Structure 1
Amino acid sequence: MILRAMSVKQQQAPTALIFDFDGTIADTFSEALRLFNRLAPVYGYKQLLPDDLPRARNMTTKEFIRSYDIPRMKIPSLIREGRRIIGKRIIEIKPIAGMPEVLCALRPQVKILGIVTSNAKSNVEAFLAKENLEFFDFISSVSKLGGKSKNLKAVMKTFTLEANEVVYVGDEYRDLLAANKAGVGSVGVCWGFNKHHVLAKQQPDYLFQDPKELLQLISTSEDASVDHA
């Protein structure tokens, strides 16, 4: 089922389709949860217990940081350490079910296919090589938690793109916030961390429940029209 957000900024197939990595392409949820709890005593924040998961997935990024007492000044260091540890286990991480096939179908239909991620570029490259998905035009790694909008703008400048030619696909509230700040189209995917009603707060162009629905993006707006849910 496709859930259509109320506002539709994107009316044509995108020239550039850009993906988040963790939770959107790669199924890193279990590994990220294990890592988050492992580092909690080191960085002085609360652990995320299994019973708290449903509530946590219904939080925006700011709400999550506040609820788990994550020190903002330590977030850059936490991200760096998380990248390092994830890198050691990247061989164990699987893709989201159905995503490799969808990405392979999208590749010949989209002029520019890229990734903007908070993960390390080397980790993403290792994962893509393992899964035979080494056909992305670029991988842009973000050093700050809220820095994705700047990277999206940099991508537009590098490839001489207008905002209405770009769509960013992500599974978290902060991904869609970044897309809105950059002025580009956005797709929220409901198979990652945040639940669909949290993603809907940023009014993305589409909310998708299944990876195959991403193929709607390479159809015309008329062909891809769907009902509100």
Structure 2
Amino acid sequence: MTVRVVIADDQDLIRAGLTMIIEARTDLTVVGEAADGIEAVAVAQRTRPDVVLMDVRMPRRDGIAATRELVGAGNPARVLMLTTFDLDEHVYAALRAGASGFLLKDTRPADLAEAVRVVARGEALLAPTVTRRLLDRFADRLPGAPGSAGRLAALTAREVEVLTLTARALSNAEIAERLYLSTATVKTHVSAILTKLGLRDRIQAVVFAYDVGLVRAEPPD
């Protein structure tokens, strides 16, 4: 199946470069482009892509607001944010808005293509080390989501354990080893957690865990 991609960036050269990278893969195709957040929403609503590569900073409406609007409207597209700095404080807000992950603009072409595939499969894309650094730095700056703590009661004790370890940047394999479970069982628990909490993906589960205090931001070394 071909993954359909929309590229949203205010720089023509960046859009052209990303289009070349995507179109060079037989399983990926660009179905639309946008130069700002307003266009990004319109194009994504019209073309219904699998993935939107969304720049964080754009004129008229930034990538965060555009992502929030797409997610709020129920658009099924997964949003992969593009940013210049890996600890840009806007990235945390983007994840909370519903993005499925983020990439640096200097990511290698092969890695960018694979990131699109990963997000299209419904997985979150944020390296564990980056997840931890990002949230440890910015989690204390933003208020928790209303009613988050009450939603935690919907989880079983084992699911809370899995959620906590997920928020600590452990992979499914590492969680399985820690809890003496199979990787398949961990995947089942993660799926149940997302369903019960009404979350889109693993990234939102990590943000949720910080919101309710399962994991605390660590002080800098």
Quick one: higher RCO (CA 8 Å, sep 6+), 1 or 2? 1
The structure that is helix-richer by fraction is 2
Q: TM-score, normalised by structure 2?
A: 0.34
Q: TM-score, normalised by structure 1?
A: 0.33
